[in-house]
Structure 1
Amino acid sequence: MSSSASLRSCLALLLLLGPALGAPQALAGNSGAPGPAPNHEICLLPPEEGPCRALIPRWYYDRYTQTCQEFTYGGCDGNANNFRSLESCEKSCWMIRKVPKICRLEADPGPCRGYLKRYFFNLSSMKCEKFIYGGCYGNDNNFQDEDSCVDHCLPEKTGPLLCYSPKDEGLCSSSVTRYYYNSKSQSCEEFSYTGCGGNANNFVNKKDCYNICKKAGSNKPRIKKSRSKPPKTTRKLQ
């Protein structure tokens, strides 16, 4: 085989294998936990230690407290709601908006056999959705109509959504002074930007940061108060 033919064969092989060789492994920011899955769905999974017996400290996002919590991972299997550090957990799950406690519960039809059309707030879709309630027990994520569910569970944030993004230094190796809006301290803070990547919560100067995000700091994220309280579930004994 001539050298030119050999070169063409090598190039063809590289073209075929290139996508497979270059494809990243899509995990939830950590090895030892299965993936891939969209971050939003990952963060709503329950903590799962797995069947192995190692004692590895890890972090998971708790949908009920809406915070990252530490747990002990066994070292194999489990699920993708499994992060090596508090920072990586918060960075992956920041997009899950804060909602009232009852809206974080899963739909519960209860043990009775009635057929009542109700609405619950689905934290995965961030929407109020229909479900069939049996008529007893269940939980308080149970609304008689969609409007009551929306009024109680959907938060309204003040200011642009970019102001609620976490600080992200980016992917490169430069060191550029920038500012980001810290929604916890409700102030614009300095950080070192690496020059590429990152997110939109990144301002050249403090004044721009303040002008864009001042509404986010003027009030805490507001929640519309429902005119009608969620119905109390009737507890019956069968």
Structure 2
Amino acid sequence: MAGNNYEAVGKSSGRARGGSKAGCCMKFWLVVFILTTLALTAAVLWLVLAPEGGIKPDKTKSVGEEGVMSGASVRRLPGICTLPPARGPCKASIERFFYDTTSATCQKFIYGGCSGNANNFETLNQCLDACSPSAGQSVSKDDSIPESGDDVVDTTVCQLPLEQGNCLAYFQRWGFDASQGRCVQFIYGGCGGNANNFETKEACEQRCIANIPMPIPAANDETLDPVCKLPKEVGPCRAAYRRWTYDLSKGQCVEFTYGGCLGNANNFETKEACEAKCGG
């Protein structure tokens, strides 16, 4: 009897162990199925919600649109206004203004006192005058050359004095000198000035030589000191000294900005000194 009881208990225990193993296997595969399903679901959601960087294309598009707008704005500006601020190699600490194309405003910066570039203005108003959105059209370029279909050529610009302008760049330009009746080279500072400003000698001559009447010499021209017959010379340097010169075409002393070096003797510190030498 006892042996039969042990045999029955052993069979019962074996069935229990077998059932336990089967239950564990089912739980294991259920967990694997759930985890696999979750992983696949997450992958599908990621692909749907973030295709190739999610919202990056819109952001890039936005930046691109801003870039196009900025580019259009820059193209309307004079070239000097697109230059980066340049302190220069010297060690001074001079407060200046430059045009920032990123913010489309004039900003302060510290200038070292030498070299640098032409995006360098002594006052805020000078910066705004040179680099406002319409400033790019203030300096004559294509409009300095008349179109072939024009019957009437505006030569009033040819009577304007040669002007260096307010900025400190060093551009070689051509202008019509009414006192000499020819186009001469001068140094343009990069902003301001007037329309008697041509990029080439040919453009100046096309506008002025063939179309402008030559000025009639003054009655006392023969009595003038030769110094007074010299053209105004700004000189190659970049200073800004207030000087006076005798303008033969106007018959009077006029003010101009002297760069600080070279030039010629038709250069007086006061109007009185100019008039004492040349009259007018």
Q: TM-score, normalised to structure 1's length?
A: 0.30
Higher RCO (C-alpha under 8 Å, 6+ residues apart):
1
- Which one has a larger percent helix, Structure 1 or Structure 2? 2
- Which one has a larger percent strand, Structure 1 or Structure 2? 1
Higher alpha-carbon Rg: 2
